[in-house]
Structures are given as C-alpha cells and as structure tokens.
Amino acid sequence: MNSQRQQIHTMTRRTLLIVLIVLQDLLPFIGNVPLGPLSITTLPITVAIIAILFGPLEGAIAGGTWGVLTWIRAFVYPSSALAPLIFTNPMISIVPRILVGVVAGYVFKILHRQNKVRATIAGAAASLTNTVFVLGGILLFANTPSVASGYHTNQAGLAAALGTILATNGVVEVIITAIVTPLIAVPLLKHLRKEKA
C-alpha cells in the first residue's frame, strides 16, 4: 500500500472509530449501563480495544474524543446535576480519558505474554486509569461544598465518599472491562493480522 493510500486508510479508520465513540457516549444504556445501584461506564472497553488494535496514539485520540464529549456535555447537556460542577474542568473530563488510551496501548505493547492475557491486563488498566484519575481529579480540582453535597457528604468526607465509589463501582468496572476487552480485541487482532499477511 503506497503512502497516500495508507494515509487515507488511517484517516477513514480513525473517523469511523470517532463516530463509534460519539454514538456510544450519546446513546442511553450503551456508554453507561445501569447495574442495580451502580452505573457502569463501558467506554473504557472501547478505548482499550482501539488502543490494543491500533496502538497508544489511536487510543489517545479515541479517549480524547470521549473526554471532549464529556466536557462539552457538562456545559450544554449535563448527564447529572454534578456534571457542570466537575466535568467543565478539562483536567477531570479530558486528561483522564486520553490517559485511558495511552495506558491501555502501552500496557498491551510492553507485556510479553499471550494476547488474551495482555488484553485482559490492558483492559483492567484502562478502566482503573479512568476511575482513579477522574476521582483523583474531583478530589484535587473540584473539592467544594457543592460537589461534596452532591455525594451526600461534606468536604471533609469527600475523600471517603470517592473511596467508596472506587471500591464499589470502580472494582465492578475493572472486572467487566478485564473480561470483555479480550473477548472482542483478540479475535479482531487475529483478523487484522490475517489481512496484513
């Protein structure tokens, strides 16, 4: 494939993946799935799969797209009463999402194990990156009485409330992402390698 065709192929693929992220973020019950009292964010799965298949740069672009959507929605169409208080800060809405793709891509690249194990660990790392950096960002950049009140606590208790979210919602998301990511990524990886061969 010559250089120009390769560029067109890359841009087309990137555009389709961005559209996938946009649809997943905007359609109810796809990007966030209610599971009893929890709300499971599934976008780290998609970003991790993109990073595994196409590398950390494409993962960062996919994650960045998700982050920018989160940031824009916080201004124009908030997903909750807390969103305008938290996600209007790009350090909470955009940076963690970019890191999801970077971490997943590099974890998959660096590990020297079979693809299923690498994809499982990359998926878990992607989900954990999102949860830790978003919750950490809230604690560092949005530690206000209004935000604490949204978590049914005061400022002194915000760290404990966020820790509870990490230990419940966060753990469930890590497990689900670690299970689902290799189920999708590994067959797609085999298919892409066959196409290149």
CB-CB contact of 123 with 181 (8 Å)? yes
At 35, which amino acid appears? L
- For the chain, what percent of residues have pLDDT higher than 70? 96
At 145, which amino acid appears? P
Residues 159-189: pLDDT tens digits? 999 999 999 999 999 999 999 999 999 999 9
The sign one gets for the Cα dihedral 181, 182, 188, 189 is positive
Bigger pLDDT: 89 vs 3: 89
At 114, which amino acid appears? Q
Name beta bridge partners: 193: none
* Per-chain mean pLDDT for the chain: 92
Say what the pTM is.
0.93
Confidence band, pLDDT 50/70/90 cuts, at residue 113: confident
Confidence band, pLDDT 50/70/90 cuts, at residue 197: low
List, in order of start, the domains of the chain with CATH numbers. Answer: 3-196 (1.10.1760.20)
Q: Is the pLDDT of residue 196 over 80?
A: no
